[in-house]
Chains A and B, each alone.
Chain A
Amino acid sequence: MQKVVHLLRLLRFIDDSKHRRNYIALLLLTIVSLSATGQDLSITKINLQLKEAPIVNALQEIQQLSDFKFFMGPDIDKYNQVRITISKQDISVRDAILEVLKNTNLRYTQKQTNILIDEKPAAQSPVFVKDQTGGGAVAQERTITGRISDAEEAGIIGVTIKVIGTSIGTVSDLKGNFSLTIPNDEVVLEIKSVGWVTQEIPVKGLKEVRVTMEETAEAVEEVVITAFGAAQKKESLVGAVTTINPSELRVPSSNLTGAFAGRLAGVIAYQRSGEPGLDNADFFIRGITTFSSGGKRDPLILIDGIEMNTNDLARLNVDDIASFSVLKDASAAALYGARGANGVILVTTKVGRVDKLSINVRAEQSTSYNTKLVDLADPITYMRLHNEAVRTRNPEIELPHRSSTIYETERGSDPLRYPSVDWYDYLLKDHATNRRVNLNLTGGGQAVQYYLAAGYQNDKGILKESTENLLDNNINIDRLQVRSNVTITFAPTTTGVVRAYGSFDDRTGPRAGGAEVFNQARNATPVKFLPYYPADATRGEVNHILFGMGPELGQYVNPLARVISSNKESKESTMLVQLEMDHKFTGTLEGLSARGTFNVMRKGYYQLERSYSPFYYTPVSTVDGSYSLLALNPDEGTEYLTYGNDIRQVNASNYGEVRLSYNKLLNGVHDISGMLVGTIRNESGSLNYEDLYNGPSDLIQASLPMRNISTAGRVAYGYDSRYFAEFNFGYNGTERFAKRNRWGFFPTIGAGWVISNEPFMSNVNDNILSNLKLRGTYGKVGNDAIGSVNDRFFYLSQIDMNGPGYWFGLPGVGNDNYFRNGIRIDRYANDLITWEIATKANVGFEIGMFNNDLTLISDVFWETRENILQDRADIPTTIGLRTIPQANLGIASGQGFETELKYQKSYANGFWMLINGNFTYATAKYKAFEEANYSDAPWRSRIGTKLGQPMGYIAERLFIDEPEVNNAPRQEIGGTYMAGDIKYKDINDDGVINSDDMVPIGYPTTPEIIYGSGFTVGYKSFDLNMFFQGSARSSFFISPGAITPFINQGQRGLLQYIADDHWSENNRDIYAFWPRLSDHSIANNNVASTYWLQNGAFFRLKQVEVGYSLPERITNSLSVKSLRVYASGTNLFHWSSFKMWDPEMAGNGLGYPVQRVFNGGVSIGF
């Protein structure tokens, strides 16, 4: 009570104080001082009121009040009749225990907060038991000793060891040791403890029994980590939360997000690029239900309660994750109020436990290959079709390649004059090698427990390194993460956790990024020049690479020179320190606990580029193998490096949280709990991750901190483990809106009904139906991150005081003085802008069958997202606004369902299996959208169409001939078009194809369905895992502008697909893949239309892993605790109707391909 008074006084002090900034520090100080009380049994004081209580209940009561945990030996049953009556204030726990055990032969032993109650060892006297096997011989009793340990060889306290068929038994002590007197050698011991798989061990002949216990799967899932890290019993959960065993997320990659697709029910995820460092998957909880451009759509990510970004999540090491939860519905995310509308991903990292040091090491090496690289046509085909492309569009123009040139190139007799270059060959390797090592140490004593981990990853790109070059131009990323989670037990009721984490990325790579290398390889002419020339007689002495170029500098791009003449180096670090204090109140406030968290995080980034200016040469004559090179830029090339584009950025954030929670079970049936959380957050520096790469913004508004304050609470009531009801709210403030719109209140309600716990279900055998639960929630959550991050302050106008200007005067020395920048209005103030609000409903059921071997969880959800920020559509151009104002006008509605099924079983013969699968369907459509008046063209209206669904023309086919072109409706899409170009459908029949003929086409670009399924089977030391994943109901466009061959002065390479299948005058295939060739962009063909629309559905064998754990006798001889070797493969096969590139890359298919990875690893425990 004193403590509470103290706290109240403190808070009042803060209220009064003008020095509010200091309050977190003060609060922390106070919490530290609070927790300094109560070190051991004799110090922790409780108020004990017992009347005629059985011993076990008495001890449980002490446990409730004190935070000590009691383990009972089997002998305690002997004292069932003893009744205890005590009424004492401020009694120490020690005295309370002694009081309870007063009239028994029981004793207690303490190890930290664990207290073992068992019978005092009696003086051993031999007892003769009749030999039950017959034969008259009398078997003598003997004592058997043993040790019970977990998989990591830590002793387990309090395990019951019982001789089957008798009442003989004992419990394991603090170190897991036990000793038991058995009547004879034929007995079987039953080893049993909650949370562990029960085992039966025949004693026969054994002097010592060593038992390694396996955790039951249920034990892990019994508790679910929910908002603000609160552990909630799964049974009482009414919200929709997906949890996953972190080890399921283990993939041979340095990027955790790549594992999400198909593994998390309710998460729509896909990976568009395989470039190391830029291969984050996109993931959305229950799809995307907003269309605010630039706003936040992806979930809030919290790691140990701290808001982090996708990259931080991607860097997490699976081995360090203790729990991984996805909060999907309003109720689960409600406490995050204004930030939870897009769902929340909640990750906690492991902490230490009382045990001797245990070390785990994992090392992996993998090789990655492009899943599919888009093929390029050979140079001869390139030249022939280039001629065709020019001739077919304009017969007047001279052909770019003479037939003699084609002939000579084909002969290959003179590659200097008639080069033929496969740029892929010069720029790309066929595989890359990556390495990863993780190490963690865990253990601890009574006062301090630790979990220390370090991870190192080295990822290389698939770009070819040039040995002659000044620079290493391949992508190379070295990453190091160090984590230290130290738990300090100040008292049984008071613990603190100090978390420190550092992540350090060192990256080098090509200046424009890996994807650009692939682009450049495709964008260069294969026949004009060699990538570089061997030194000729006159240039033998030069100290640089003789890069090739056409006769004119600047006319062509030499991708090799571009790529290898520069590189970018960047270093990025994240460091955080986090302090947590947890105190459980006792006495009259029993059931109440308080927790404070404080976090400081710094992110730093710097980048620089080094480059040299390549020397270009063009061959001018070739006589009998000797040739001469003409230097094109002898004065501009450099043989030394220069550096530039130097970016340094820092981002700082602080977070504080105070939480009060209360749990109480009244009369054994009324389960009451409540929680109240206050948080405060400040982030300044570069405001989002993109900005780190895009360079600094000079807007003052971008420099201002992002701030949030929230108060959130939960009240829950459960009756008899059957009925549950919950109310949650978040009351949140943000800096983004005008004063009157800054605070938002987001309430939710939920209820659950565990039918299987009803009395009328008691006759249903657990072996058939073990669990049946219905639950539902309804409520509101918000999103304050609307619009682009530089548009945070909608209520203010944004004025660029250095906008486009004008100069007066005459040109000449010093006349820049007469130039002045202008003033530009970039945003008009609108103080009405406010939150996006999601109203979500969720109904779910859970079924467990066959002792919960089979579990099925299904949820159906609905969402209405209101106040979506969108551009005003009713403002005519003639008003003259520079930017279109935005307003909270849009409404979208989403719905869908998700289900996950899991079946696990192990058999006595050592075979075990786990099969699981999940399926997510989420769709959303526009309900309200301000747009122009489309009453005469209703198909152009967005309302009722799906979010993310493209608008485009309906392509009928290609034009057959010129008469058809002339007689068809005029296509006012842009540019000239002719036979062999795309013919569009005239939707409104007005004889003109224009934007009024655009309609929604295809599926949304974000998949509506993501599913996955896999199995793991094990037999003794072997295990095998296979995982399949699929995606359906999505569309994407092939971007014709990005693959049009021969454009840019005849440079762009020719894709084999186009070479093989295009309209030509000789072969007028009106359904050819590619329209009539051209050496320039044909605007008519480049617009979004069904011609380029592709189905993004695919199904793939995502992962296969085979593992072998060395048997104990071998590990023992190696003095390691465990050793597992494994091999795995990722992205091995896929099935899709789309063949050009990996369908998961969708519209990004020309970028850095998704990788197929083969991996070998070893995991060792000491």
Chain B
Amino acid sequence: MLATLMGVMSCDYLDVVPNDTATLEHTFSNRSVMDKFMRTVYSYLPDPTNPHYYPAYFTSRDEFDWRTDVRVGNLPAGQISQGNQNSNSPYLDYWSGRNGGKPMYEAIRTCNIFLENAHIPKDIDETERQKWIAEVKFLKAYYHFFLMQLYGPIVVVRENLPLSASPDEVMTYREPIDDVVAYIVELLDEAIPDLPPVIQDPNTEQGRISQVIALGIKAKVLAWAASPLFNGNPDYAGWVDNRGVQLIPATYDPTKWAIAAEAIKEAIDVAHANGFQLYEFNKFSTPQTFAMNDTLVTMMTVRKAVTEDIERNTGVIWATQEQFANGKGGVPSALPQLGNMVRSLFPNLYVTDQPLYFNYMSASWHMGELFYTDNGVPMEEDKYFDYDNRYRPRRATPGDHHESYIATNQVTAGMHFHREPRFYANLVIDRGFFELASTTEDGGRSFSPFVQSRGNEIVGTQGQASYTPKKILAFESSGSQGVTGRGYTQHNYHFPLLRLSDLYLLYAEALNETKAQPDNEVYYWVDQIREKAGLKGVVDSWREAAYNPDAPRNKNDMRRIIQKERLIELAFEGQRFWDVRRWKIAGQYWSLSPTRWGDIGASSDEAFYIPTAYAPKRQVTFRDYLFPISIDDLRVNNNLVQTYGW
């Protein structure tokens, strides 16, 4: 009796879920929710303002560096820079989304869900639908590309596997690098026709994908495919999976450079056609900069090529929408400031500054050696540059004509004299100026207090890090002054992901590889960059100042010149990490000892200006070029093969 009663009642009584609970079908019921879903797809974009979890900054100590007394070395990127990467629980595991990595395969699945369902909404204009589909295809390609840059041959997910897929179906293989590249390019080619050439209204659409962006990324993908890491790399000759498929070709294929060159040229042409050109600073843009001399204007051109407001920056093709901010990267709550890269890089401006929030991280000391001399050639190749005495302290005199760079009558290292404008625009040096739109101490002295950054000059700290990457710290930022003023005002800007200069140099690189000998076509693209930096062309500079004046005429020397030009031009922009790996030359940089100027608390100039290694070298082998996959992932999918060497 009771059983019957309960039985009858149960049907409705236990049905507590209302019909309008959100389900997967809701996510494509109309344009508005489809828009939201697209934001989800975008939200997986790796965040280049997240310094400890984006791989391009602190995974090595040759471009950026971190102070040992700061615990950022224990964060994932810092662990890699100390040689602690491992296959047990890899740091920055973008494969599975652990230890600081974003889950790229989850991102790809999300793209696929979008692509599977994008036909559903009825209230969307067909052109817009196609545009959105193209954007998501681009992102799907980019997520694959991001993985490819870290892992080389990867699993390609063309379509989502259903949850009910059998274990055999889900055990997918890493595909050979050429297939991966082909698929990414195929996706980009599908996307490009439906994308707008450029973003129409930056006020509402900045951050979305345009044709120029897609073409630029396609150019980079093909450049990767042609580069030494993936094009005939003998180190990986033995890397085969359990079917015997070789994942990275052991033989070099020069035609890949030709294909890349063509794609790069197309990207540059379309960019030009849509108004992109190399950035140049206009000193009449704000009242604070009217008084700048030409030297300062050149420096501003270098700095603002990165930090200029995006709507006025003609040289940035693609920039992140993310912003540098406190606490990024899950940094321990005690000092969330550590997560804010630009703040942590900010120098102590005044002797009375409290060091806590600033200057935890720095430009690597080795970056001081990278830049050219004022003759436009490397220090060690410049026959006029006193290379042997470059570490000796030297007093700045009016005769040096360095009044825009170094405070007169102050002593600093010899190598801080007679360098190219990009040296001074990229780095804050001891006794050099740090130009800011506003500084207030001493009754509003102009925007360039010179920086005193020796150990005993900074209150309560253990010595300032060697250099500060001035280039990526916006001119409009302001820092603290004195004990009580602890203010730091951040000027947000769109950190670039792809600049036109990048494509120029990439094109020069590709052309140099496709030609038997470099010619004017190669020099042209490099010289465009040098001109903006206030330097003469490659051929002229070498001829006038270098020990080896004919270097630019030699293909191999020219390759090194282009690479160096690229490291200089794109310094601190999160590009070096990718480039030195692509060129297979990371080992020589990553194994440099972390170095700083001089002893803590050095009392004399001589004692301070001694390059001092302060942490152990990292042992680098070929396996460090690509990240390992966690052994747990290999256990679940027995068809996956570990990254070679791990």
Contacts and interface: CB of A to CB of B under 8 A. Distances in A.
Nearest to B492: A811
Given A799-B26, A805-B36, A828-B163, A975 B79 contact: yes
Interface stretch (B266-274, B444-452, B628-636): B628-636
A540 B23 CA distance: 64
A356 interface: no
Given A397-B462, A709-B13, A733 B33 contact: no
Contacts of B516: none
B632 A1049 contact: no
Interface in B604-646: 614-615, 631-633, 635-638, 640
Interface in A875-898: 875-882, 885
Contact of B74 (A799, A873, A878, A1083): A1083
Interface stretch (A273-281, A672-680, A861-869): A672-680
A806 interface: yes
Contacts of A804: 40, 43
Contacts of A973: 86, 88-89
A811 B323 contact: yes
Contacts of A881: 106, 109, 163
A707 B6 CA distance: 13
Interface in A646-691: 658, 660, 676-678, 680
A823 B29 CA distance: 13
Interface stretch (B201-209, B242-250, B391-399): B201-209
Interface in B33-83: 33, 35-37, 39-43, 45, 68-69, 71, 74, 79, 82
Contacts of B7: 711
A1045 to B, nearest CB: 15
Nearest to B455: A398
Given A700-B21, A811-B492, A828-B163, A878 B155 contact: yes
A815 interface: yes
Given A551-B460, A882-B106, A873 B6 contact: no
Interface stretch (A7-15, A444-452, A599-607, A912-920): A7-15
Interface in A840-886: 873-882, 885
Interface string A727-760: 0000101110001001100000000000000000
A527 B570 CA distance: 46
A678 B5 contact: yes
A315 B154 CA distance: 59
Interface string B163-194: 10101001110000000000000000000000
A879 B161 contact: yes
B370 interface: no
Given A551-B460, A733-B6, A821 B14 contact: no
A707 to B, nearest CB: 6
Contact of A11 (B1, B207, B483): B1
B291 interface: no
Interface string A801-832: 10111111111000100101111110011100
Interface in A511-565: 551-555, 557
A1051 B335 CA distance: 13
Contacts of B207: 806-809
Interface string B1-33: 111111111101111111001111011000001
Given A711-B3, A810-B203, A793 B17 contact: yes
Contact of A396 (B26, B334, B614): B614
B107 interface: yes
Contacts of A678: 2-3, 5-6
A994 interface: yes
Given A818-B204, A878-B155, A805 B39 contact: yes
Contacts of B466: none
B600 A820 contact: no
Interface string A958-998: 00000000000000111110000000000000001011100
Nearest to A734: B14
Nearest to B69: A397
Contacts of B8: 15
B40 A878 contact: no
A538 to B, nearest CB: 15
A1132 B560 CA distance: 78
B533 interface: no
B68 A809 contact: no
A933 interface: yes
A822 B43 contact: yes
Contacts of B4: 15
Contacts of B334: 554, 557, 1048-1049, 1051
A880 B460 contact: no
Contacts of B36: 801, 805, 820-823
A875 B10 contact: no
A733 B88 contact: no
B160 interface: yes
A823 B32 CA distance: 11
B21 A1080 contact: no
Contacts of A1051: 334
Contacts of A822: 36-37, 39-43
A879 B157 CA distance: 8
A152 B356 CA distance: 74
B205 A808 contact: yes
B116 interface: no
Nearest to B42: A806
A20 interface: yes
A796 interface: yes
Nearest to A998: B88
Contact of A658 (B2, B17, B74, B632): B2
Interface string A1044-1067: 000011010000000000000000
Nearest to B166: A874
A932 interface: yes
A878 B79 contact: no
A994 B97 CA distance: 19
A198 B1 CA distance: 48
A976 B43 contact: no
Contacts of B155: 878
Nearest to B154: A878
B575 interface: no
Contact of B22 (A11, A799, A995): A799
Interface string B207-218: 110000000000
A820 B10 CA distance: 41
A701 B106 contact: no
Interface in A272-323: none
A710 B462 contact: no
A2 B403 CA distance: 113
A795 to B, nearest CB: 9
Nearest to A684: B16
B468 interface: no
B110 A880 contact: yes
Contacts of B13: 20, 680, 707, 709, 733
A22 interface: no
Contact of B79 (A680, A701, A974): A974
A711 B2 contact: yes
Contacts of B341: none
B82 A972 contact: no
B103 A880 contact: yes
A872 to B, nearest CB: 9
B108 interface: yes
Contact of B109 (A396, A879, A1081): A879
Contacts of B205: 808-809
23 contacts: A11-B5, A630-B483, A700-B18, A700-B22, A701-B17, A707-B16, A709-B6, A731-B3, A735-B17, A742-B14, A796-B23, A798-B22, A799-B23, A799-B24, A799-B27, A801-B22, A805-B36, A810-B206, A880-B157, A972-B87, A973-B89, A995-B631, A1081-B74
Which 7 interchain pairs have the tightest Cβ spacing? A880-B109, A822-B40, A994-B88, A972-B86, A932-B635, A678-B2, A806-B42
Given A796-B23, A876-B171, A880-B112, 4 more contacts: A396-B614, A398-B462, A796-B17, A805-B36
